[in-house]
Amino acid sequence: MSAHHTLYVQSTGGDYEVHIGRQLLAEVGKRVQAVCKDVTSALLVVDESLLAFSYADTVEASLKAGGMPTVRTVVARGEASKSLATADTLYTRCVEAGLDRKSVVLALGGGVVGDLAGFVAATYMRGVRFVQIPTTLLAHDASIGGKVAINLPQGKNLVGAFHPPCIVLYDVETLRTLPARERSSGLAEAIKHGVIWSESFFSWLEEHMDSLVDGDLDATEEMLFTSCAIKAEIVSKDETEQGVRAFLNFGHTVAHAIEALAYGQFAHGEAVAIGMMTECLISVSLGRCDETVLHRLRTLLKAAHLPQHIPPSFDVDALIAAMRRDKKATRQQLAFVLPTRIGNVELYPDVEETRVATALRARRLTQ
């Protein structure tokens, strides 16, 4: 077996391991057989972009080498695939492939394929087992914690479930082929983990951002281990978002509104970067954090080559209407996770609309 790091996640559906390292794709078959007892067959859901490389062939060969009947299905790249229509085509593939209740669905790709395939796994025959094989930097966040979902035209992730994987197998060598823009997008979720949970991790990111942006694999692996450890710790404490898990939504009230108004215009991490800046501004305006937090965040996002501004084409009223449909909202109040300092955030369930509008306009005007 290859040398790598292992993290452990507690889940009511069964604790699971997160493996982070190299040459893990060739081990998928035996590692899945080890945790998915009596598995009968597999559906391997693959992001279209990966067909340019040998990743899916390696995973499929390793599953078949263990004697597991495996059917591969390819999903078009991009956020539009996180839809009920694509889920429908996957249900058909499940039936055609003869998947039964002892089968397993594997997601090979980024957060889009992970969320979509996980949603299908959560609902086909009322739930079959699920394995995450993330291939983007951002998917370090998406593959841990069991949130699976599809989007509606009205909002991100509005239909979904908590369906934890049996195992996460994160082969960092797949990141060598990730475009620079997607690398930066993934760094946004790591920066988020620093802001909400760990000042020392945020400082580490400040020191190493240039190497991370350049795609240095050693630095990336170290960063992923810490960022995944933070995510694993939080979801182990609060799997279904009754409390502390909501902190992982820092930046997302604004991000999800931006994404819903123009699916695909921004990568998820880009929208989160804009969202973190806007929400930090709201926090400053409430007197909950000082300008130094905003300054450090702005500087780090810039070093990560991430956007920070809302294009003028986005209407403030439409953004606020979308935020009222956010899953953190009760009675359509505007709910935000706001930083008090680097390493600490609090949930604000009801921020007044004028304050939110002012912050949104400030982020637009500084174009």
Ligand X SMILES: O=C(O)C(=O)C[C@@H](O)[C@H](O)[C@H](O)COP(=O)(O)O
The residues of the shown chain that bind ligand NAD, judged by CB under 6 A, are 47, 49-50, 77-79, 82, 109-113, 115, 135-136, 138-139, 141-142, 145, 147, 156-157, 174, 177-178, 182, 185, 267-268
- From the CB of 271, what's the least distance to ligand NAD, in Å? 9
Contact with ligand X (CB under 6 A) among 21, 109, 110, 145: 145
Chain centroid offset of residue 52 CA = 23
Name 125's Cβ contacts closer than 8 Å, sequence gap at least 6.
99, 100, 101
- From the CB of 252, what's the least distance to ligand X, in Å? 5
- From the CB of 102, what's the least distance to ligand X, in Å? 28
Q: Running DSSP on this structure, what letter comes out for residue 154?
A: T
- From the CB of 57, what's the least distance to ligand NAD, in Å? 14
Q: Answer yes or no: 355 catalytic.
A: no
Let me know: does 47 contact 247? Beta carbons within 8 Å.
no
Let me know: does 22 contact 171? Beta carbons within 8 Å.
yes
Q: What is the distance between the alpha carbons of residues 334 and 331, in angstroms, rounded to a whole number? A: 9
Q: Answer yes or no: 268 catalytic.
A: yes
Q: Answer yes or no: 344 catalytic.
A: no
Contact with ligand X (CB under 6 A) among 79, 141, 239, 259: 141
Within a 13 Å sphere around the CA of 136, how many CA atoms are in the beta-carbon half? 33
**Among 31, 72, 129, 256, which one carries the catalytic annotation?**
256
Q: Answer yes or no: 126 catalytic.
A: yes
Give the annotated binding-site residues for NAD(+).
111-115, 135-136, 147, 156, 174-177
Write the interaction track for ligand X spanning residues 218-257; mark x where CB under 6 A is met and - where it is not.
Answer: -----------------------x---x--xx--x-----
Q: What is the distance between the alpha carbons of residues 252 and 138, in angstroms, rounded to a whole number? A: 14
Q: Say whether residue 147 binds ligand X (CB under 6 A).
A: yes
- Buried b vs exposed e over 42-77: b needs ≥16 C-beta within 10 Å? bbbbbbebbeeeebbebbbebbeebebebbbbbbeb
> Residue 170 or residue 202: which is nearer to ligand NAD going by CB?
170
> Residue 156 or residue 296: which is nearer to ligand NAD going by CB?
156
What are 75's two structure tokens? 């999903």
Let me know: does 283 contact 289? Beta carbons within 8 Å.
yes
- Give me the amino acid identity at 80: A
Site residues (vs ligand X, CB under 6 A): 141, 145, 147, 156-157, 189, 241, 245, 248-249, 252, 327
Give the active site residues: 126, 147, 189, 231, 241, 245, 249, 252, 256, 268
